[in-house]
Amino acid sequence: MAELILALDLPDKDKALRLLDELDGALVWCKVGMEMFTHYGPPLLAELASRKLKIFLDLKFYDIPHTVAQAVLQASLLGVDLLTVHCQGGQRMLEDCVAAREKAPKKIMLFGVTVLTSFASGEMPGISIQPKDFATSLAALANDCGLDGVVCSPQEVAQIKHEHPHLACLCPGVRPTWAGLGDQRRVATPGQAVSWGADYLVVGRPILQAKDHRDAFLRICEEMSRPL
Ligand code: C5P
């Protein structure tokens, strides 16, 4: 059964905590990305952990292998459950991250970002192949390097799952028919994403910008429970 992750992409911690109160009892996973982590740092993660939430820290690390591996080790000490690095960091960077993760006292899942779901065809600087082909080749690299999963568009999940059945797929770019696209491009509905094989859906604005947050969250859960 696929799991829904709420992206806490908000400028204000009090607002985020009020939202968590609204979703109390329904929410299992939340994502802290660069906006909130830059402002509030590790104490925010501790606060989320004290609420017994599972934490996806989405900082999409991308640097030389040593630097990223050390950052993975530090992140693994913060009590997070899932962490992202960019697959485009390449084989040595990914392998060093996996090795760093093995040293951590708490097991965290390491996922590789393939191609951002905001990229449409022809928009990736200097890359002429289609986003889907690039994403699937990066997923193969992630699999070979021993990562637990990849972040990809729902539109790429079926092929990635076909080629690497044990690689978990976490999908942004999820848009119910009743929500706006925003900056996302390679999108699908929650039902489509689950039907095509996604293990985790990460959703922000369709919930954050809804009038009734709990209703929007539960509607997405309901759409996920009856795939196409
Ligand atoms: O608001 P929205 O539902 O578009 O939020 C999607 C979330 O997924 C954002 O927090 C964004 O940072 C994240 N994400 C993404 N594309 C990726 C990886 C992560 O949109 N490839």
Q: How far apart are CA 161 and CA 165, in angstroms?
A: 5
Average pLDDT over the chain, rounded to whole? 96
Question: Residue 56: its pLDDT value, please?
Answer: 98
| Per-residue pLDDT reduced to its tens digit, 42-94 | 999 999 999 999 999 999 999 999 999 999 999 999 999 999 999 999 999 99
Distance 202 CA to ligand 1 centre (A): 7
User: Are 210 and 176 in contact, with CB atoms under 8 Å apart?
Assistant: no
Check pLDDT > 80 for residue 227: no
| Per-residue pLDDT reduced to its tens digit, 140-189 | 999 999 999 999 999 999 999 999 999 999 999 999 999 999 988 988 99
Active site residue 13: no
Question: Residue 105: its pLDDT value, please?
Answer: 86
Q: Which of 60, 107, 161, 211 is catalytic?
A: 60
Confidence of residue 106 (pLDDT cuts 50, 70, 90): confident
Distance 192 CA to ligand 1 centre (A): 17
Which of the two residues, 106 and 145, has the higher pLDDT score? 145
User: Are 20 and 215 in contact, with CB atoms under 8 Å apart?
Assistant: no
Confidence of residue 104 (pLDDT cuts 50, 70, 90): confident
Residue located via tokens 């044990």: 166
**Residue from 4, 9, 57 to probe ligand 1 pocket by mutation (most atoms less than 8 Å from CB):** 9
User: Are 152 and 139 in contact, with CB atoms under 8 Å apart?
Assistant: yes
Question: Residue 226: its pLDDT value, please?
Answer: 87
Question: Residue 3: its pLDDT value, please?
Answer: 98
Q: Ligand 1 pocket, 117 CB below 6 A?
A: yes
Question: Residue 159: its pLDDT value, please?
Answer: 97
Q: Ligand 1 pocket, 113 CB below 6 A?
A: yes
Q: Ligand 1 pocket, 184 CB below 6 A?
A: yes
* pLDDT, mean of residues 17-44: 97
Which CATH number applies to 3-224? 3.20.20.70
Residue located via tokens 């985790």: 200
Question: Residue 44: its pLDDT value, please?
Answer: 97
Q: Ligand 1 pocket, 182 CB below 6 A?
A: yes
Nearest ligand 1 atom to the CA of 203 is 3
Check pLDDT > 90 for residue 191: yes
User: Are 171 and 202 in contact, with CB atoms under 8 Å apart?
Assistant: yes
Q: Ligand 1 pocket, 112 CB below 6 A?
A: no
Check pLDDT > 90 for residue 228: no
